[in-house]
Structure 1
Amino acid sequence: MAEPIHAFIDNEVKSNDVVLFMKGTPDFPMCGFSGQVVQILNHLGVPYKGINVLENDQLRDGIKTYTNWPTIPQLYVKGEFVGGCDIVREMFQQGELQSHMSGAGVPVKTSV
């Protein structure tokens, strides 16, 4: 890793099954896109770690260069970058996110 912040990100992504790099926290999202992904993950009952990029400018910039993805939020499952809000929302609507989570061994609440 070229930068210490990338080492931090890499460690978080690899040591947590599901990680959401977001603006704000899961309890208090600071942007609509982060809020949408939080709602989806909460709806699925997926245990995840939310990391607030607004607390650290290095982290905010570093996450974008880590994946070469320009926007936040960014969702990772089992060390793999899944996507941002639009991709996560589309996958959820088509049932692909639930399959992806289950396939990766992440428990997902069944639909009621």
Structure 2
Amino acid sequence: MEATTKSQIEDLIKSKKVFLFMKGTPEMPQCGFSAGVVTVLKNLKIDFGSFNVLSDMKVREGIKEFANWPTIPQLYINGEFVGGHDITVQMASSGELQKMVS
């Protein structure tokens, strides 16, 4: 991964306490898994930043390498990789997600 792509990803993650790399935008998700994570965050009234990986192929591929996680969406809290759709839904159900954010 290019150093510029890596620093762009790091800057994005640091820009908000909760940050989501997703396909599409929160207003118009372009995959069911991205939509699912957005729904969880909105239902819990969690403020989050996001990046549409479909708008930048370098970030789309770079984020997979960055997190060593092959799929998107990817959720970060306090700069740490949390997981994708299934993990986010599971953590929200158990209340763990809300604890991490508060």
Aligned residues: CA RMSD: 1.2
Counterpart CA distance in 1 for 2:91 and 2:39 is: 14
- State the shift of 1:15 in Å: 2.5
Counterpart CA distance in 2 for 1:61 and 1:53 is: 9
Counterpart CA distance in 1 for 2:99 and 2:16 is: 19
Task: Extract structure 1 runs of 4+ deviating beyond 3 A.
Answer: none
Counterpart CA distance in 2 for 1:12 and 1:76 is: 10
Question: Percentage identity across aligned positions?
Answer: 50
- State the shift of 1:2 in Å: 5.0
Partner residue in 1 for 2:63: 63
Once the two structures are superposed, what CA deviation does each residue of 1:17-68 show, in whole Å capped at 9, x if it has no partner?
Answer: 1110000000000000000000000001111111100011111100000111
TM-score (norm 1): 0.87
Question: SS at 2:81's partner residue?
Answer: strand
Greater Rg, structure 1 or structure 2? 1
Counterpart CA distance in 1 for 2:59 and 2:2 is: 14
Question: SS at 1:40's partner residue?
Answer: helix
Partner residue in 1 for 2:76: 76
Indicate if the aligned counterparts of 2:15 and 2:49 stay in contact, CA closer than 8 A. Answer: no
Counterpart CA distance in 1 for 2:2 and 2:22 is: 22
When the two structures are aligned, how many residues end up with a matched partner? 102
